[in-house]
Amino acid sequence: MSIAIFFDQWSPKRWTEALRKALPDTTIEIYPDITAPEEVTFALCWKPAEKVLVGFPNLKVVQSAGAGVDHITRTQTLSESMVLSRIVDEQLSEDMWEFLLAAVMTQLKNLPKYVDYQRQQTWKRQPYRGIQNTNIGILGLGVLGAYVAERFAELGFPVAGWSNSPKNITGVDSHHGEAGRQELLSRTDMLINLLPLTSATENILDKNLLGTLKKEAFLINVGRGPHLVEEDLIALLDSGHLSGTLLDVFRQEPLPESHPFWQHPKIQVTPHVASVTNIESAVTQIADNYMRFHDGRPLLHTVNIGKGY
Ligand code: NDP
Ligand code: OXD
């Protein structure tokens, strides 16, 4: 039994050191330097190369190094007998909350606009919004969405959320289904996308959905790049529908130099930093999951492979 690490974009160095410390008796290798592929039973992945896992006939557990699993489900063929697991970490929820709070408050008080005005030496007041009259809509009320929804509600924002199944979250209006989504969108001033990327949610942020929002609404996408139909967003922004958007995730990361998002006056770009996995706490979870697998106990934070999240 051994663990193999498949990281196509992140450096595996600190992860490998931490994992070797946590599991000193376990063989841990980094792809492509795997000495015995048939010994690999547990794969730790972040954006693994397309179909790379087929070369490991005895693989039983595929562990995402982050909260999302789309980088695995969209590139690998997982058998029904495999277990897919992900990171769920309180600090990840807290960091997401802090990022979204900063994004929303900055927007409410027009701070990006004043940065532009300063560059033009323009003294001009803008009308601003307060917390009580800013409706927040959140797509996805899972571990992250539910957490941030409750925090926004505690601050006094009117908050509504949308998920597959109804939720009971203090201070949050729960919606589900097509009609529920329409109702949420038509009232929303700030739309936050925290859905996982699955076949059901790909391209969900299109002209129909975004067009249902109020004219002055603002979009924050911290889910995944392929949720968004980029041409639809640009067309809506250019036509004066939507006041702007903050995008943290993209179809191609890093965002290519020539991409129109970089220069668009209504688009703010952040480099996939809304909430970054903490290596130490992630490795503690991963080592725990490995020992659970080793001892035949149920794993933590497993994902329904059929549903894709
Ligand atoms: P969860 O799996 O815990 O939650 C997913 C939520 O989405 C659930 O409420 C689920 O509904 C809902 N959902 C899924 N599919 C649909 C659908 N078709 N229609 C309506 N609702 C749906 O995920 P997390 O909250 O942990 O994470 C969400 C995503 O955030 C991750 O997948 C990742 O893409 C992104 N992320 C981004 C980061 C960043 O830095 N930008 C950092 C970490 C994560 P139900 O509860 O009813 O099943
Ligand atoms: C994650 C992410 O899924 O960083 O953890 O986006």
Digits of tens for pLDDT over the chain (309 positions)? 999 999 998 899 999 999 999 999 999 999 999 999 999 999 999 999 999 999 999 999 999 999 999 999 999 999 989 999 999 999 999 999 999 999 999 999 999 999 999 999 999 999 999 999 999 999 999 999 999 999 999 999 999 999 999 999 999 999 999 999 999 999 999 999 999 999 999 999 999 999 999 999 999 999 999 999 999 999 999 999 999 999 999 999 999 999 999 999 999 999 999 999 999 999 999 999 999 999 999 999 999 999 999
Nearest Cα residue to 243 out of 156, 150, 127, 161? 127
Cα of 71 to ligand 2 centre, how many Å?
Answer: 10
Which active-site residues does the annotation give?
224, 272
Starting from the CA of residue 47, give the closest ligand: 2
Could you tell me if 218 and 245 are in contact, meaning their C-beta atoms sit under 8 angstroms apart? yes
Starting from the CA of residue 46, give the closest ligand: 2
Q: Measuring from atom 6 of ligand 2, which residue has the nearest CA?
A: 68
Task: Return the pLDDT at 80.
Answer: 84
Q: Measuring from atom 35 of ligand 1, which residue has the nearest CA?
A: 223
Distance of CA 162 to the CA centre of its chain: 16
| Residues lining ligand 2, Cβ inside 6 A | 66-68, 277
Cα of 65 to ligand 2 centre, how many Å?
Answer: 8
Q: For residues 285 and 282, what is the distance between their CA atoms, to the nearest angstrom?
A: 5
Q: What is the DSSP letter of 205?
A: B
Nearest Cα residue to 264 out of 288, 236, 229? 236
Pocket test for ligand 2, best of 90, 222, 275, 301 (most atoms within 8 A of CB): 275
For 199, the 3-state DSSP assignment is coil
The tokens describing 55, both together, are: 């070369």
Q: C-alpha distances in angstroms, 96 versus 4, 5, 307?
A: 29, 26, 24
Q: For residues 92 and 275, what is the distance between their CA atoms, to the nearest angstrom?
A: 6
Task: Return the pLDDT at 183.
Answer: 98
Q: Which amino acid, 63?
A: Q
Starting from the CA of residue 141, give the closest ligand: 1
Which residue shows structure tokens 């897919």? Answer: 84
